[in-house]
Structure 1
Amino acid sequence: MSGGTGTKKLMWRWRSNPLRRHDDIVEAWIVLAVWAVILVGGTLAGLVTAHAADEVFDQQREERYAVKAEVVTGAPAAVTTAGTTNRRALAQVHWTTPDGATQTGKTLVPAGQKAGTEVEVWLNGQGDLATEPPSPTEASVEAGVLGTAAALALAGTVFGAGALARWRLDRRRFDRWGREWDLVGPEWGHKTS
């Protein structure tokens, strides 16, 4: 098959043809619109989501800070489940704020820590316990994953909407063919001579 023949087959809905129906033109526009939105909209959704995630991670790295804390209650030992080992456990800790007040709270610490052990914990801008912010590399990877997920979600939604619109066109064509057959079909049983 030559390249020109393949292109003709792909573009048949756009060419002038006495057998082309209005629904064929509508379907061609639907397919074009779906792919345009997937390509342009998916790219934009991915880029905007990745940029927003990067900003959030940058803000977390700017406002969160590490302080030394003391484990109040011992942390359970590492637990292995389904082939993975959880190397962090929830424990109660206390720390001193910059203004000299002592705070107590629960956070994840390395598994197996005994009471009295000094650990590093992370606080947010309000001085509350928070998770460690992602490193720039981790943030870039996570932003990329979130951007890709947003692009795929948009693409899936648009593709599904396009498939639904094409299905409705097919149903309309089948109904129209059925009505036409009901009119023409009985005439085929009569002899013409």
Structure 2
Amino acid sequence: MRAIGGLWRWRHNPLRRKTDLAEAWLALLALVLIAVVAPLTGALAGAAAEHALQQSVRDQHRARHAVVATVVRKLTRAPLEPDPEASSAQDPHSRVLADWTAPDGSAHHGKVITVLRSPHRGDHFTLWTDRHGRLVGRPLDPAAATTHAMLAGVGAALMTVALLEAARRLVVWRMVLGRYARWDQAWDRAGPDWGKAGTGS
């Protein structure tokens, strides 16, 4: 809005300089680009991220399998860190020794972290493994992938706005430097005669 007001203000102003009008047009151009290019960039970036993340979700769901593990005994020290994708920070984490069977039929025994609040021998819980029974993280949820894609789109749009505004400010800064240089030249031409008797007569 300031850009439009600036154009109107300088339209027939006798004090208008070429650079004043150029700055107003530049501001209007930047405003139009921000209104058009930033949302378009955000939408394209979000769509690309959505496609890539949903493909990753499909790949993970094909490669990762939920298997039922059985508690052998509870452990007192943590063998590994909890998977940040598998549970929230508020979930209880118990360390146990467990047995499980991989999708390929092989038997496995190892130290794992479970969300069972008070695990006892024989309790069952779910683990995520690859086809051969090696522990993996929970596959990415499609809804979480969509959220990440939306955040990527918003980030791309904001980055576009920042770049366009930075470009506008850079051009204005160069225009102001040019204006100061012209003022200095005018001062140099007029300055030496100031204060002398008979100047201007």
TM-score over 0.5 (shorter chain): yes
1:178 aligns with 2:147: no
Report the secondary structure of 2:99's partner residue.
strand
Q: Is contact 1:75-1:112 (8 Å) kept?
A: no
Could you tell me whether the CA contact under 8 Å between 2:4 and 2:28 is conserved in 1? no
Does the aligned pair in 1 maintain the 2:108–2:133 contact within 8 Å? no
Could you tell me how far apart the structure 2 residues matched to 1:128 and 1:16 are?
76
User: Residue 130 of structure 1: SS of its match in structure 2?
Assistant: coil
- Counterparts in 2 of 1:21-60, with a 5 A limit? 21=19, 24=23, 25=25, 28-60=28-60
**Residues 69, 99 of structure 2: 8 Å contact kept:** yes
Question: Which one has the bigger strand percentage?
Answer: 1
1:149 to 142, 148, 151: 151
TM-score by length of 2: 0.66
- CA-to-partner distance for each residue in 1:107-162, whole Å, 9 max, x for gaps? 3312331344322222223432223335xxx522x123212211122123222222
Measured after TM superposition, the shift of residue 46 of structure 1 is: 1.0
Answer yes or no: is 1:124 the counterpart of 2:130.
yes
Q: Taking structure 1 as reference, are residues 8 and 113 closer, same or farther at Cα in structure 2, changes over 3 Å only?
A: same
Distance 1:124 1:10 in 2: 63
Opposite residue 69 of structure 1, the aligned amino acid is A
Compared CA separation, residues 98 and 58, structure 1 to 2 (3 A): closer
Moved over 6 A (4+): 15-18
Q: 1:172 to 1:91 in 2, by over 3 A?
A: same
Provide Cα deviations, 1:75-123, integer angstroms capped at 9, x if missing partner.
56xxxxxxx7332334332212355532134433123313443222222
Contact 2:64–2:130 (CA<8 Å) still a contact in 1? yes
* Helix, strand or coil at the partner of 1:38: helix
Q: Normalising by the residue count of structure 1, what TM-score does the alignment of the two structures yield?
A: 0.68
Corresponding letter in the other structure for 1:38: A
In structure 2, what is the Cα distance between the partners aligned to 1:67 and 1:161? 49
Larger radius of gyration: 2
Q: Is the 8 A contact 1:27 1:169 kept in 2?
A: no
CA distance 1:162–1:8, shift in 2 (3 Å): closer
Taking a change above 3 Å as real, the CA distance of residues 6 and 96 of structure 1, as seen in their structure-2 partners, is closer
Q: CA separation in 1, counterparts of 2:158 and 2:7?
A: 24
Task: Sort the Cα spacing of 1:6 and 1:95 in 2 relative to 1 into closer, same or farther, 3 A.
Answer: closer
Summarize the alignment of residues 1-193 of structure 1 with structure 2, pairs less than 5 Å apart: 8-9=4-5, 19-21=17-19, 24=23, 25=25, 28-74=28-74, 85-98=90-103, 100-110=105-115, 111-133=117-139, 138-140=141-143, 142-185=144-187, 187=190, 189=194, 192-193=200-201
Question: 3-state DSSP class of the match of 1:94?
Answer: strand
Shift of 1:43: 0.6
CA pair 131-8 structure 1, distance change in 2 beyond 3 A? closer
- Give the direction of change, closer, same or farther, for the CA distance of 1:179–1:97 in structure 2 (3 Å limit): closer
The 3-state SS of whatever aligns with 2:131 is coil
